[in-house]
Structure 1
Amino acid sequence: MTMTLIKPPALEPVTLAEVRQFLRLTDNSEDGLLDGLIKAARETLETQTGLALICQTFRLYIDQWPTAGVIKLRKCPVQSIVSVSAYHVDGTPVQVAAEDLHLESASRPARLYLASRTANSVALEVDFVAGFGETGKDVPDALRHAILTLVAHWYEFRGVYGAAQQPVSYPPAFERAVGLWRKVSF
């Protein structure tokens, strides 16, 4: 199984203004740097936890029909299924009808149940939306604080270590905030 990002988040879970306030910066001379740090901190947090913070669309490629018709979606929380395409041996795609799908989004990982196997199909593509919501206000406060903490840490140590040594470390406050959300083995 391979998963790719089809549509990235429209915005970051914390704003530049929130980061400037957190860092007690009064000017905007380093906004470019801060924007990059915010995005890198979000990506780091999402990688470590298996979460999508702001709604994003992913495509999951599955090379063989899943055992018992169950597909585990490894980005959480799953908001919706956009489409499911089954591929025949000759490469012809067939859309799987919505009534043949059941999403159990409350579990982690979320599970997509397929009612029955599409005749002659061997592979699947599943497009789905994952994230807490459309804005940073939808993201749990602990995760937003973890991003702020990591941005502050990286901002403070930006000139001390070279690029080959990055990231230098994660601050304990980041580790504690992310610890409860860290992904478990699937």
Structure 2
Amino acid sequence: MTPLALTPPALEPVSLAEAKIFLRLDQSAEDDLLATLITAARLMVEAASGRLLVDQAWRVVIDRWPDGGEIRLPLSPVSAITAARVYDVLGTAQPVAPGALQLDTVADPPVIRLAGEVPEIGRPRGAIEIDVVAGFAPTAAAVPALLRQAVLRLAARWFEQRGDVVGRDAEALPAEIMTLVAPFRRVRL
């Protein structure tokens, strides 16, 4: 199973204005740098938490329909299936009927269940593509406060402590950031 990002979120979970207030910045000379750091911090928090923060379009590519009829998604949370297609032996995309796939948004990780007739696959690799919307919501207000705070604090840390701090943080996030992210990580038993 391969997840592919199709479109980034329309906005970040922390605005440039919020970050500037947090950092007590009055000037706009470094707005581009700070905006880049906010995006990088979001990506790090998403990776550490295993959750996508603001709605974004993703495509999940699989080789064949699962035997048990359930596809456990590598993305979380997922709010909608926007399209699905299967490639036949000629390489032509055949659409999957909307009711043939059911999304269980309560399951963690989210699960897509086969609920109807689906086209036959026609190639051995990458035969099925399912497009989904992943994220807590389209607006930053719906992102859990702890995850927003982790993005804000990480971007501020990188802004204030420029240099090799980003390289060290890429290996392991600072403890105070991981504490904010911890409640959202999926635990394996």
Q: TM-score, normalised by structure 1?
A: 0.90
Aligned to 2:81, the other structure's residue is in SS state strand
2:161 maps to 157
Q: Which residue of 2 aligns with 1:114?
A: 114
Does the 8 A contact of 1:82 with 1:127 survive in 2? yes
- Gapped runs of 5+ residues in structure 1? none
Deviation at 1:185, TM superposition (A): 5.3
**CA-atom RMSD in angstroms:** 2.1
CA–CA distance in structure 1, aligned partners of residues 172 and 22 of structure 2 = 19
> After superposition, where does 1:71-150 map in structure 2 within 5 Å?
71-116=71-116, 118-121=118-121, 123-150=127-154
Relative to structure 1, the CA distance from residue 169 to residue 61 in structure 2 (aligned partners, 3 Å threshold; closer, same or farther) is closer
Instruction: Please give the secondary structure, in 1, of the residue aligned with 2:106.
Output: coil
Q: 1:64 to 1:171 in 2, by over 3 A?
A: same
Could you tell me the percent identity over the aligned residues?
A: 41
Query: 1:139 and 1:164 mapped to 2: Cα distance?
Result: 27
2:62 aligned residue = 62
Contiguous gaps of at least 5 residues in structure 2: none
Q: Is the CA contact 2:96–2:119 (under 8 Å) kept in the aligned structure 1?
A: no
Alignment deviations for residues 69-97 of structure 1 (CA, whole Å, 9 cap, x no partner): 21111211111000111222332322111
Deviates more, 1:13-22 or 1:121-130: 121-130
The reply to whether residue 175 of structure 1 matches residue 175 of structure 2 is no
Q: C-alpha separation between the residues in 2 aligned to 1:162 and 1:102?
A: 44
Given residue 67 of structure 2, which amino acid in structure 1 is its aligned partner?
Answer: T
SS at match of 1:67: coil
Alignment length, in residue pairs? 185
Detail structure 1 runs of 4+ shifted over 6 Å in the superposition. none
Q: Which amino acid aligns with 1:29?
A: A
TM-score normalised by the chain length of structure 2: 0.88
Give the counterpart letter for 1:20 in structure 2: K
Identify which range, 62-71 or 75-84, moves more after superposition: 62-71
Change (3 A) 1:151 1:163: closer
- Determine helix, strand or coil for the equivalent of 2:58: strand
2:47 aligned counterpart, secondary structure: helix
Which string of whole-angstrom CA distances, capped at 9 and with x for unpartnered residues, describes residues 107-166 of structure 1? Answer: 11100001256353252100000111111111111100001111121112213x287656
Return the letter of the residue paired with 1:149: R
Distance 2:156 2:70 in 1: 41
Q: CA deviation at 1:102?
A: 1.2
